[in-house]
Structure 1
């Protein structure tokens, strides 16, 4: 990785004054939009082929398990090798998957097994990509600008999450092949952008791999109680309070909104998260970060309860938008705490563990929602999830008092 001057010398400047961050931002935007489009077309193709909700669930699980299986390996690699190069390889792998799916679609041999195999490949690529992205970002801006950079980066990701599926659905009118082609082009653009990133970081040494080094990320998080508290709070809150998997039931059977309503409901949390990200980019959080994080997670639970009880489409949209907004506050604080508390030589391993928590909260949360809804029904499932989230906040404030009382992101 090329060496340039430390970005700390530009502290206080607009984030656009840091070329490395600018190129990283656009790479992340392009790759996020591509993966969102790709997942939309993959889900559509899978359902067209099998008409099975179970197979749709397998697509998500096929992406989660590689992240779990490679968690210890990815952290080691991200800490030992050029993080920019790792991102290039991950994106190149996703280009190959898009090409594979395009060829399969063109020649009419794409099937359930091919889609699941491609999903496993995407899971492997993301298992390395996510910790590399998290670990490289703190080297692109001064530490004082990191919360703002995280907010801007999150805003870009949320914008891509909103725009990607919409564009993918529009292009799908021309056929799945067209969507795969556009996804491949966006991944290539992401590779070009990340290739322009220049930071003053040198990969770590090649010390022998031992059980101690493999589990160093887990041990570090366990010893840093504030980091453990922040990561586990997010895990259990989203695991219990997430309602994404049940949105089709709410759209059709409770709100009577149809497919168009489902699309709006799915976009509502990202809209709320985007608005908060844009605000935090201009007004970064500086004080009372612990209580603010706990309050935002509690309000996320309240918004989930409102959504569960609502029979009004407008109120349900507002509740989901608020849930995304409150969740984004806690995400920015959590990510800032994790990155600022972690030495650079440990960021890969810590980010790999953090990625497992994120994947578990999102993908396993959807599984938990579906399982609970099968037993109790959709409304009781989401309602209990919101109540459980508030209960988790109360417990975590007692278990992690230093986190609840933390004043600054960068503690002295």
Structure 2
């Protein structure tokens, strides 16, 4: 799949331009939500385990409903699914806005609203990934994937910093902005007028539900790539503990937390831009393992840092090398997945991504409550190295993969 893309193309396709805009605004809302909820929950509890529960509440629906969400994206109108999901996300954000304005201090209702948001997100992710090839001609699919990724990564730079700044004026201001952003996303999706692709509806049974899992299992290179990314980020991820670092170690406010959250995305955008114009052509497997090793090193460096500049630098490099593995994984999945199975495979891929992020946040928060914040991050970085060593041995096909294409 071509990674070099014509920049003007996103403006030439009305439906894709609307979708890309919706992708950016919804991602902006998600990042503001993450910053606001993390700071709010930690301010209420001062408990890192409570931060872990935030990630768990968002992730549980993705893994619990993975088979159903993927099958739905392959069986029903993907655009309709997205519209329903963002209507629900708007309601969940409005609920957080109302609860923050009430002045209540119990965290239970926060988790309940995050769980509702997690359900909407669980259905939206595979539908959103699978719909991109339906919005553009096959010749422009590479361009569309690149624009889609850059829209998300750009939002992950702007969103955390914006969320941190808005939080200075109160949690209600942030949640009002999040609610408005999800409502705008819904409006943009409602304006799309693409022709849904007709599919043959086979009877729903376990064979159909498990098809995505069997497909990934049958592709050792794909399975090795997404599982390596899962376990490396699961152990090495420190994003759940950023509020602790900002508050207790680096002694910065919510605006500093937003800056910390923005750094991995800034590194990812720079690397994505580089890969768009200078794509990886050879030694794909070797580059993926090298990126995981550097990811672990930067995790350890961040964990030990007590200086804001050094912490930001480590997070920046961490995001850049993580983008290399993301690029390889996403390209391999797109190349080797037929359209009729894209929803189910995307759902499983979403579970792997979610496990390496939201479930990783739960793991980090739970472990930090037991052994402390700094030891948790350092041990996670060392664990990433161990995973890389094991995968080098267990997945020789990935290790020796030379090119992305066949």
- Sort the TM-score into its range (normalised by shorter chain): 0.7 to 0.9
Q: Is the 2:168–2:254 contact (alpha carbons within 8 Å) kept by the matching residues of 1?
A: no
Cα 1:193–1:114 change in 2 (3 A) is same
* Structure 1 position 245 matched with structure 2 position 240: yes
* Structure 1 position 15 matched with structure 2 position 3: no
* Structure 1 position 281 matched with structure 2 position 276: yes
Please point out which of 376, 381, 386 is paired with 1:386: 381
Cα 1:198–1:409 change in 2 (3 A) is farther
* Aligned position for 2:151: 156
Separation in structure 2 between the aligned mates of residue 231 and residue 24 of structure 1, nearest angstrom: 26
Unaligned runs of 5+ in 1: 1-7
Q: Is the 1:304–1:323 contact (alpha carbons within 8 Å) kept by the matching residues of 2?
A: yes
* Aligned position for 2:66: 71
Q: Is the 2:48–2:366 contact (alpha carbons within 8 Å) kept by the matching residues of 1?
A: no
Separation in structure 2 between the aligned mates of residue 137 and residue 59 of structure 1, nearest angstrom: 30
* Aligned position for 1:337: 332
Matches within 5 A, 1:309-388: 309-388=304-383
Unaligned runs of 5+ in 2: none
Separation in structure 2 between the aligned mates of residue 249 and residue 106 of structure 1, nearest angstrom: 24
Cα 1:143–1:232 change in 2 (3 A) is farther
Q: Is the 2:69–2:347 contact (alpha carbons within 8 Å) kept by the matching residues of 1?
A: yes
Separation in structure 2 between the aligned mates of residue 138 and residue 288 of structure 1, nearest angstrom: 28
Q: Deviations 1:57-110 (Å, cap 9, x if unpaired)?
A: 333222111112211111110000111111111111112222333444556679
User: By how many angstroms is 1:295 displaced?
Assistant: 1.8
* Structure 1 position 34 matched with structure 2 position 29: yes
* Aligned position for 2:19: 24
* TM-score calculated relative to the size of structure 1: 0.87
- SS in structure 1 of the partner of residue 202 of structure 2: coil
* Aligned position for 2:189: 194
Q: Is the 2:24–2:155 contact (alpha carbons within 8 Å) kept by the matching residues of 1?
A: yes
Q: Is the 2:163–2:258 contact (alpha carbons within 8 Å) kept by the matching residues of 1?
A: no
* TM-score calculated relative to the size of structure 2: 0.88
- SS in structure 2 of the partner of residue 269 of structure 1: helix
User: By how many angstroms is 1:374 displaced?
Assistant: 4.3
Q: Is the 1:152–1:281 contact (alpha carbons within 8 Å) kept by the matching residues of 2?
A: no
Q: Deviations 1:184-241 (Å, cap 9, x if unpaired)?
A: 3222221232334455651432211111111111111111111101110100110111
* Structure 1 position 117 matched with structure 2 position 116: no
Separation in structure 2 between the aligned mates of residue 329 and residue 230 of structure 1, nearest angstrom: 11
Q: Deviations 1:232-282 (Å, cap 9, x if unpaired)?
A: 010011011112233344445555556654443332212111211222233
Cα 1:301–1:180 change in 2 (3 A) is closer
Q: Single out whichever of 137-146 and 218-227 deviates more from structure 2.
A: 137-146
Separation in structure 1 between the aligned mates of residue 155 and residue 113 of structure 2, nearest angstrom: 22
Matches within 5 A, 1:147-226: 149-197=144-192, 202-226=197-221
Cα 1:38–1:399 change in 2 (3 A) is same
Q: Is the 2:268–2:319 contact (alpha carbons within 8 Å) kept by the matching residues of 1?
A: yes
Q: Deviations 1:88-137 (Å, cap 9, x if unpaired)?
A: 11111112222333444556679534322211110100000111111122
* Aligned position for 2:76: 81
Separation in structure 1 between the aligned mates of residue 368 and residue 40 of structure 2, nearest angstrom: 26
Q: Is the 2:236–2:381 contact (alpha carbons within 8 Å) kept by the matching residues of 1?
A: yes
